[in-house]
Amino acid sequence: MKNADEYPALYLAPRKELMAEVAEKARTRGMSHMHLPVFSEVRPSEPAIYEAASLIRKESTDLLREFEALAERIDEPVVEDDDGSEDAIGIHVSVEEDDSEEIHLERGSCPVANGEHGEAWMLAVHVARHLGHAPKDIHTHDEALFGEPLPCHHHDGTCAYADAWEAASDPENPKDILIGNYGHGYVDGTRTYYSETGEDSQVIDRTITIDEFPGDVYDERFGEIYLDHATWFARALRSDVEDRQTLFEEDLWSDEWVRAWLRGNATSEIDAVATADHHLDLMQRVLDTHAVVDDILETSSSITADDHGADADESSLRSVLGRVQDLGPEWDDEAIEDACAGLRSVLDNAENVSRQTVERIEDAVLPPLATAAVELDDGVTLGGGVVEDFDHFGGDLTTMVEDAVTDFRERHDGADSLVRQPIRLSMAGRGLPGARPPRSRWLRTSARVSPAPRRDHPQGR
């Protein structure tokens, strides 16, 4: 670590005491350093999380939008007297930091997840995390998930957790040493050093230092079941693999789709996969927009009053929001642009609409729609051609994409969960066991060294 100013480093340790020691040494030697953020420093009790998640699975994800009632319905206490020292770092890995005394590290975390805005909010974000939503999605799609912005976003602010990840990869202020626990090794961006000075830029792999023996954090042995696991994995990517016999008969190693998926760069190496990934991402944004529009129409009294008058017509805000709801199934760029133009026109003259409603539309409806319109190529509809281009790959992953596109375009109930599922896999070796860790969507990445992920820890920051 003493040469980190010349060879940038990532230091990983299981205990806060060790992290604090390295930070102090960096200060003494005049090296820039930073403690990597964690989603939360404290957690609700595990029984409370499991009970709330079970209710949501039995009833509906809409319970997250009624988080106060959800917290009251569970029998388990949300916060126990002794919540231990386990830190959630923002991916599906928790690390015990076994310190004999409380040590405070200057690292970013989400105040909502820490319980600073009440137990109901704390439980809601941790249950969303438990259900598979990455912290990035929890913060960027908060209104769609919870029906209102996270308290850490109030007054046009940004969350300390998100700010810390931005700082960790700031090319104008790169850190000699990034300090975290074992789980941070799964985040590609932490393993890469970015620097920009004027027109000069530098991207290099950091030297990774792992303090103490990490046990099986980066290792998983499948024993006698490895062939079953390999068969299932191959069947997810190829329709012609049915059993162990065909696993050996098919030349999988020469299949560029399989190899690119294992390398984790399918979205940059294979055009059809990149297109599918891009369209699914746009579809998720549009579905989140629909959720916000639905909520506005259901809850905004000013819009209801606006449309109950005798002069209500096609220029009313309710009518224009209805046009947004009715977009599809083609989802071409012209239709989306027309809807955006109609919204902007009505907002300019919406004197009877509350400022809060106007701000929600400006912040959570117009931007994703405008992005979808701009990023769709001329003559290409949202989801159009994705199934056909992707179909020749075959396998369960292709079926997931086909189901997601079909349900999105036909506006079936549950389309949101179907679209999110292949996005989490992201067509690039993420999520399925045996793959390399995912590329972070908050951190620009180019690292080539990856710890092998554990089978029981699907990734996603």
152, 276: one domain: no
Tell me if 270 is assigned to some domain.
Answer: yes
pLDDT the model gives residue 438: 31
Domain end among 158, 177, 195: 158
**What residues contact 52, with CB distance under 8 A and at least 6 apart?**
63, 70, 71, 74, 123, 127
pLDDT the model gives residue 282: 83
pLDDT the model gives residue 430: 41
* Residue 308: domain span: 255-433
152, 265: one domain: no
Tell me if 87 is assigned to some domain.
Answer: no
401, 284: one domain: yes
Domain end among 158, 187, 217: 158
259, 366: one domain: yes
Tell me if 38 is assigned to some domain.
Answer: no
Tell me if 247 is assigned to some domain.
Answer: no
pLDDT the model gives residue 187: 87
Tell me if 325 is assigned to some domain.
Answer: yes
| Rounded CA separation 350/358 (Å) | 8
Considering its fold, how many domains does the chain have in total? 2
| C-alpha distances in Å from residue 112, one per residue of 116, 151, 181, 439, 452 | 6, 7, 22, 25, 31
Q: Is the pTM of this model over 0.75?
A: no
In the numeric block, the tokens 């992005």 are attached to 371
Task: For helices 256-263 and 226-237, give the axis angle rounded to 10 degrees.
Answer: 110
Tell me if 443 is assigned to some domain.
Answer: no
| C-alpha distances in Å from residue 169, one per residue of 216, 290, 325, 440 | 28, 32, 38, 11
141, 65 Cβ separation under 8 angstroms: no
pLDDT the model gives residue 312: 46
Tell me if 77 is assigned to some domain.
Answer: yes
Regarding beta strands 177-180 and 9-12, do their DSSP bridges make them parallel or antiparallel, or are they unpaired? parallel
pLDDT the model gives residue 372: 82
Domain end among 142, 158, 174: 158
Give Cα 159 distance to the centre of its chain.
Answer: 15
pLDDT the model gives residue 388: 72
pLDDT the model gives residue 129: 93
411, 263: one domain: yes
Q: Which contacts of 219-225 are long-range, i.e. CB under 8 A and separated by 24 or more positions? A: 219/452, 219/454, 220/452, 220/453, 220/454, 220/455, 220/456, 222/455
122, 268: one domain: no
Collapsing DSSP to helix, strand or coil, 197 comes out as: strand
pLDDT the model gives residue 113: 96
pLDDT the model gives residue 91: 37
pLDDT the model gives residue 188: 79
State the 10-residue block means of pLDDT for the chain, 461 residues long: 84 95 94 96 94 93 92 92 46 45 88 95 95 90 92 81 92 94 89 82 89 84 83 86 88 87 82 83 84 84 50 64 81 82 84 82 89 74 71 77 81 61 46 33 26 33 44
152, 273: one domain: no
293, 426: one domain: yes
Tell me if 422 is assigned to some domain.
Answer: yes
Residue 228, token pair as written in the block: 């079953």
154, 259: one domain: no
In total, the chain counts a number of residues equal to 461
In the numeric block, the tokens 């805005």 are attached to 117
262, 399: one domain: yes
Q: Is the peptide bond before 329 cis (omega within 30 degrees of 0)?
A: yes
386, 260: one domain: yes
